[in-house]
A and B are shown apart, each in its own frame.
Chain A
Amino acid sequence: RKEVEQDPGPFNVPEGATVAFNCTYSNSASQSFFWYRQDCRKEPKLLMSVYSSGNEDGRFTAQLNRASQYISLLIRDSKLSDSATYLCVVRSSASKIIFGSGTRLSIRP
């Protein structure tokens, strides 16, 4: 079993739709959680950190459930520019950082 598992995707949704991604992690000692976005043939870029209380940044909402070891990302009113691969990233120490394999999102007009 992978340490960080994500929805396999790809997700293909119309512009304006709401889409949700899930991620589970196996190490209960994990400390920090992030969502990164990666465009085709580009480097990953931090989308948002995920806090225990949940956090929102514009159209993006991230949730963390430590008891279930589950992280989610919700994108509302999706735009064409949201098309990318979304990576769930879990840190359990200063060095140990685990990436999920990513979920591909494609927004259609």
Chain B
Amino acid sequence: EAGVTQFPSHSVIEKGQTVTLRCDPISGHDNLYWYRRVMGKEIKFLLHFVKESKQDESGMPNNRFLAERTGGTYSTLKVQPAELEDSGVYFCASSPRGLAGYEQYFGPGTRLTVT
């Protein structure tokens, strides 16, 4: 079974540019999460989708970040315009519905560098 995949693995952009990160969860997983780890800090929750609906987006830093999950399959996270402090590793995770959904499966992450 394929795991969670993320694209791109690395992205280097200039301040002010736009970047879109993509996450493909494990097939059949209703829950999809985005997380971010900035240098030297712990992994922080950004938002949670259940199928195509945003269950909780309380962790989104500001309105420069927009996440979508049209059709309840893959998700995108767009940063527009990017700022220096957005640099970090963005992880996506998925889990099935119900109690089994307490265990999350992480993708390899996208390392974003804003210069």
Q: Which of B41-49, B64-72, B76-84 contacts A (4 or more CB under 8 A)?
A: B41-49
Contact A97 B42 (CB under 8 A): no
Q: What's the dominant secondary structure at chain A's contact region? A: strand
Set B35, B48, B50, B103: member contacting A49, Cβ < 8 A: B103
Q: Nearest-CB distance from B65 to chain A (Å)?
A: 16
The answer, yes or no, to whether B109 is at the interface (CB within 8 Å) is yes
Q: How many residues of B contact A (CB 8 A)?
A: 24
Inter-chain contacts of B103 with A (CB < 8 A): 34, 46, 49
Chain A nearest CB: distance from B32 CB in Å? 11
List the 9 closest A-B pairs by CB distance, nearest first: A95-B56, A43-B106, A95-B48, A101-B42, A99-B43, A99-B42, A32-B102, A44-B106, A43-B108
Besides the known contacts A46-B103, A87-B43, 9 further A-B residue pairs in the complex with CB atoms under 8 A apart: A44-B43, A44-B91, A46-B104, A46-B105, A94-B50, A95-B48, A95-B55, A95-B56, A97-B45
B-side interface residues toward A, CB under 8 Å?
A: 31, 33, 35, 41-45, 47-48, 50, 55-56, 58, 91, 101-109
